[in-house]
Every structure is written in structure tokens, then in C-alpha cells.
Amino acid sequence: MITRTTNQTMARAAQQNLQASMSRMSKLQEQVSSSSAISRPSDDPAATANALKVRAEIRANTQYTSNINDAEGWLSVSDTALSNTTDILNRVKDLTISAANGSTSPESRKAIAAELTGLKSDLLREANTTYLGRTVFAGTSDAGAAFTSVNGSYTYTGDGVPTARRLDGGTPMQVDTNGAAVFGTGDASVFRLVDDLVAGLESGKDVSSFLGKIDAAANTVLVEHTGLGVRHSATLKAKDALLDQSVSLESRRSGIEDLDTAKVILDMKLQEVAYQAALSVTARALQPTLMDFLR
């Protein structure tokens, strides 16, 4: 079948070609202004799906980073408190050794007892250390203090439930330390130990028997401090891993969503030239009118 090419057919074809050229140029202009390869899902459904997955991973990475920063705060504060506790117990031991010397005068023993009372207060302060309003030795308890002292009776208010932060997709990391394990509870607490030591000094008793108990208390603190150090080291490694992952994820996101701006601008300029050329050619091709055929 022979078809006839009329002016209307030519005009319609020219119009379609010009509209297609204008659409391509408009899309390039939109990409240049947004600097994004995907303005809407229909631009590239597969890339859109990949971009959504990467962005979900980036959000998770951001949350893990926030968790790690919080965990670092808990662990750093706990580390300082345990270091201070060890220093206090070392001082308690030094004073006990001095007091155990048979040549120590009653006045010296009294002065040592006074200093030991102050050191016990320091121990209580360290045991009730807080971070962002939470006690670091009381688990998830919100009592406000891990240990309370009433008439020489020491009560641990912690609930035994560890405070944890999820640093990655694996097992949550414990960021606190069990105060009962570090300082003991009730009559078996380090606070009661210092009280008994002071009472022995004030009554003139031989206090050398307390040295073994002080060493045991200091060793307990050291064991818990070591465990905290292991967790702190793991947290720092997780932080480094997340930093590397963050760079990798941003690179993946950029590869999917971002444009090579210079290339897109060049493509847009070429498309503009092609559009102008198409306009010129169309104008020349469609010059004849009805009047031309009526002459």
C-alpha cells in the first residue's frame, strides 16, 4: 500500500521530534539544577530500589554511630571511676600499713582514722558516679544512686540488669559495670570494710588483719576494670569499622544518585544545539503553505 506524505504528516512528525528533543533537554536541565540522577522513581526504577537500600543502611549506620558515642561516654566515665577507686583503695592500704606499725601513736591512729573516713566518702562518691543523669554502677535502675548509706548500713539500689547499646547488627554491648560486683553489698561491701577498719583504729586494735581484705577488694576492682577495658576496646574497634563503612556507603550512594555535572552540562549544551538545529530545519522544510499550491 502506497501512503501519501502530506504537509500535515510532515508537520506532525516534526512536532513529535521537536517535543522529544525538548523533553530530553528539559530532563538534562532538571538534572543539572538538582545534581541528582534520580528526580523521581520512574527515571530509573532499579537505581531507585538500590538507592533506597543504601540509604536504609546509611540511616542504620548513623544510629549505630550515635549508640557508639553514647557507649563511649558510659565506658569512659566508668573507667575513670574505677581508676579513682583503685587509687583510693591503694591509699587505704598505705594508711593501714602505717596504722599497723606498733610504734604509731594514738594521735596518729586518730588522724589515720579521720582520713579513712574521708576516703570512705570518696568511695561512695565514685560508686554513685553518673553519666547524663544515670548511675553507671546501678544497671537500668533510676533510683539516682547506686549505693545509699543510712546509719552505717549500705544498700545497693541497682537492679542487676546491664545497660547495653547495640553497636552493630550483632549482640548488644554492655556499657555499664555491676556496682555490686565492684564494691560489694551490705556488710560485705568495701564501705563496711573501711568502717570496721576505722572502728578498729579508734578502739586501739591491731588492724594488720585488714590488709588481706583490702587487697582482695582492690583485686576485685581490678578484675572488673579489666573487663570494662575489653569492652571499651571492642567499642573503639566498632567505631573504626563504622567509619570505614560510612565512607563506603556514601561512595555507593553517590555512585547511584549523583551526577557527573560536567558531563551532564556538556550533554545539555549539545542537546540545545541539536534542538536549535531541528527548529531551523523544520522551519525550512515546512515553508510551503496553501497559498503556494493556489498560485
How far apart CA 137 and CA 186 sit, in angstroms, is 15
Q: Residue 20: is its pLDDT beyond 80?
A: no
100 and 243, same domain (yes or no)? yes
**Domain annotation covers residue 21:** no
216 and 290, same domain (yes or no)? no
How far apart CA 141 and CA 152 sit, in angstroms, is 22
204 and 286, same domain (yes or no)? no
How far apart CA 124 and CA 206 sit, in angstroms, is 25
Q: Which three cell numbers stand for residue 217?
A: 577488694
148 and 264, same domain (yes or no)? no
Q: Which three cell numbers stand for residue 251?
A: 561512595
pLDDT digits (tens, 9 = 90+) for 74-131: 999 999 999 999 999 999 999 999 998 877 788 999 999 999 999 999 999 999 999 9
pLDDT digits (tens, 9 = 90+) for 142-152: 888 999 988 88
pLDDT digits (tens, 9 = 90+) for 224-233: 999 999 999 9
154 and 221, same domain (yes or no)? yes
**In this structure, is the dihedral angle defined by the CA atoms of residues 223, 147, 89 and 102, taken in order, positive or negative?**
negative
Residue 1 CB: number of other CB atoms within 10 A?
2
**Domain annotation covers residue 27:** no
227 and 283, same domain (yes or no)? no
**In this structure, is the dihedral angle defined by the CA atoms of residues 107, 108, 109 and 112, taken in order, positive or negative?**
positive
**Domain annotation covers residue 41:** no
Report the candidate in 270, 48, 57 with the shortest Cα–Cα distance to residue 39. Answer: 48
How much is the average pLDDT of 198-214? 92
Structural domain range at position 264: 260-295
284 and 232, same domain (yes or no)? no
| More confident: 286 or 78 | 78
245 and 139, same domain (yes or no)? yes
The Cα-based distances of 115 to 99, 218, 257 in angstroms read 12, 18, 67
Q: Which three cell numbers stand for residue 71?
A: 557507649
Q: In CATH, what number is assigned to the domain containing residue 76?
A: 1.20.1330.10
